[in-house]
Structure formats: C-alpha cells, structure tokens
Amino acid sequence: MPFGVFRPLLLKDMQKAGIKFKLWLADWFAWINNKMDGDLEKIQKVGEYFIEVWKAAGVKDVEYVFASKSMDSEYWKKVILIAKNTTVSRATRCLTIMGRKEGEMAETAQYFYPMMQCADIFHLDVDITQLGLDQRRAGMLAREVAPKLGWKKPVVVSHHMLMGLEGLKTPEGFEQNKEMDASISSKMSKSKPNTGIFVHDSKEQIKEKISRAYCAPRDIENNPMLDYSKHIIFRAFGTMKITRPAKFGGPVEFESYEKLEKAFRMGELHPMDLKNAVAENIDALVKPVREHFEKGKASKLYEFVKKQKITR
Amino acid sequence: MDIESKLELIKSVGEEIITEQELRELLEMKQHPIAYDGFEPSGY
C-alpha cells in the first residue's frame, strides 16, 4: 500500500502543483541491498511490475528510468566525486537509508549505495528529491556536497511514513530526531507482512487485517487507523463517511481530518466504527489496482512476483 | 495555480521540507520543477 496507493496520491498532488516527475527504478540498489535473493534479473522484472502498479493506480505523465540503463561513465564519475567529498563516518551515517542498522552491514558494496543515491539526484538533474522520511539522509548528503562540486543543491521534500498496522514500535536508531526515528521504525513495510496491507489483498483480507490492527479508544498519537485516514483517505476523497447503526449514533460524515480526530479523542467515535470506515475506503483505493492484475500481461507479472521469496 | 497554492500543496506532501525558502524560490523561478522518487524493486 505505501507504494501502490499512498505514493500515487502524493505524486498526483505534486503534479497539480506543476512538478514533473522522474521515477527511478533502483534495480542496482536493490541488488546491493540483497533484495530478491540479490538476483538482478528478478529485480528488473519486479521493476516492470512496479510500473504496472503505478499505471493501475492512475499515475500518468511521468518518466520511468531504470538505474541500470542510465548509469554511464558520467554517472560513475559523479559517484566517485561524491565519495571523494564524503568522510567514511558521514557515509556510515547514511547507511540507514537502506532500511538497515549499522550492525547489519557486512559488505563493502553497501557503502556504494548512499554515494550512488546521491549521484542519482545530480545525474537526473532534479530540483527536488521527493522520497520518504527514511531517505532524508541521502538528500541531506546531496545538499552538503553540491556546493563543493559546483552542482545544483536540491530541495528535499520528505513524505510521511505510513504507520504499520501494529502501531508505534520502539525506535531503532534510524534518525537522531526521536519523533522521526519512531516514525521510520514503525513504518508499514513489505518485508514485514504483518505490518501492511497489500494492493493484491481482497476486501475480506483488508477487513481482517484492519480488525486485528492496533486502535485504542481515544488514542490519537499511536493510531494507524487515524494515520491512514489522515494521509490516505482525506487526501484521496477529502471527506470520510462513517456508517453505524442508529443505536450507536447513526451515520456521520467528517469533512476534515481534524474533525474526525477530535471526535475520536472525545470518545464520540468507536474504534470499531472507525475501522469499518477505514477498511471500506482503503478497499475502494486498492480495488482498481487489484483488479488490474487479475488479467492479461499484468497477471503474469504478478504471478512471477508472487513466486519469489522476498528477502530482506 | 499561484505560488501560494502550490506551496500549500507541496507542504501537505512534505512532512519535512529542506528548505521551504528554497522551495519558494524554485517555484518562483520555474513553472515545472523536476522531482524524482526512487524505488528498490523488491516484491509487492
């Protein structure tokens, strides 16, 4: 859901503001990060599948670029120039962008990763980097090296990390800022199946996962349901309807997230009713993507991806 | 869309923006700034 539903919504809003997008399919990065068993061919096929997901989610007018097809000698020159202007300790601090902690790092290849991600920004000649908060350190490194190398300094626009279904987790040390660290440590992640909803989940699966999700009455801080309402449902629909029996207050419609949050904080909205509404709305957004993969070329791609072991 | 509305929209996407002032200058200078988002193809 983070990449199949949430990011397309963000991207469309950025496009409304006149921003043009390049979507970088970081196949060599996944290879370094040992995704899909570290098999580059499999990774590239999953890249094709990603493009199909975004098309199904209604993403239009973007340029898709596969990293492996774009990395020429000019690219590698930038990688080296960045590395020459980055101390080893600075590079080490950047390694968290791979979603791993320092103790998990074992291969020198992993040190290439932040240097490459930084080079992407200059190689693609972008004005803005628009990735998740968990990637902010790459953007910050780019801003540090840009003046030294006489390159354009990017504006770093980092989006929210959707909370996992289980709610807030103990911060694992991805960021110095405690709030950011908690947010990154608690994110919905495809490598941790219990934390997420997937674009191929049936309506029943979505309902079942949401019924198990963490949602304590009146708690507005640690609440994945409110998180999805704010960042997905209100962004997509601008409003949220709650259907509930008359004896529990009858149907109600919230015209802003703030009003929904207030009602929940005051105990005027029961977690069960909130969960039902979240499940209905999320399903409405997942449905076109799910159905797109039920036939044709897309279904074959999905079959391939499904067969693979997701390594992390 | 005027600059203020564009800024509002981008600020709704960016939980953190470094820096807002530079973003404003960019929007004043360019009608269609280029952004990128990167993805590791790693399963569904």
Helix-, strand-, coil-residue percentages of chain B, each rounded to 5: 50, 25, 25
| Contact criterion met (CB < 8 Å) for B37 and A11 | yes
- List of chain A residues with pLDDT < 70: 102, 309-312
Q: Which residues of A touch B6 (CB under 8 A)?
A: 17-18
A2-156 and A201-292 in the same fold: no
Put simply, whether A129 touches B (Cβ < 8 Å) is yes
pLDDT of residue A190: 74
Architecture of domain A201-292: Orthogonal Bundle (1.10)
Token reading at A248: 């529990």
Read off the tokens for A177.
């800022």
- The CATH class given to the A2-156 domain equals alpha beta
Give the pLDDT confidence score for residue A171 in this predicted structure: 85
pLDDT by residue (tens digit) across A178-211? 888 888 888 888 777 778 999 999 999 999 999 9
Residue of A3, A36, A308 with shortest CB distance to B39? A3
Residues 6+ apart with CB under 8 A from A33: A98, A99, A100, A110, A113, B40, B42
Map out the domains of chain A as residue ranges.
2-156, 201-292
The 10 Å Cβ neighbour count of residue A96 is: 23
From the number of C-beta atoms within 10 Å of its C-beta (0-12, 13-18, 19+), residue A97 rates as buried
Q: Please give the model's pTM, rounded to 2 decimal places.
A: 0.93
pLDDT band at B30 (very low <50, low <70, confident <90, very high): very high
Q: What is the ipTM of this complex?
A: 0.97
DSSP class of residue B21?
Answer: H
Which residues from chain A sit within 8 angstroms of residue B27, using beta carbons? 17-18
Give CA–CA dist A65/A63, Å, rounded. 6
Q: Is the peptide bond before A129 cis (omega within 30 degrees of 0)?
A: no
pLDDT tens, A126-177?
A: 999 999 999 999 999 999 999 999 999 999 999 999 999 999 888 888 888 8
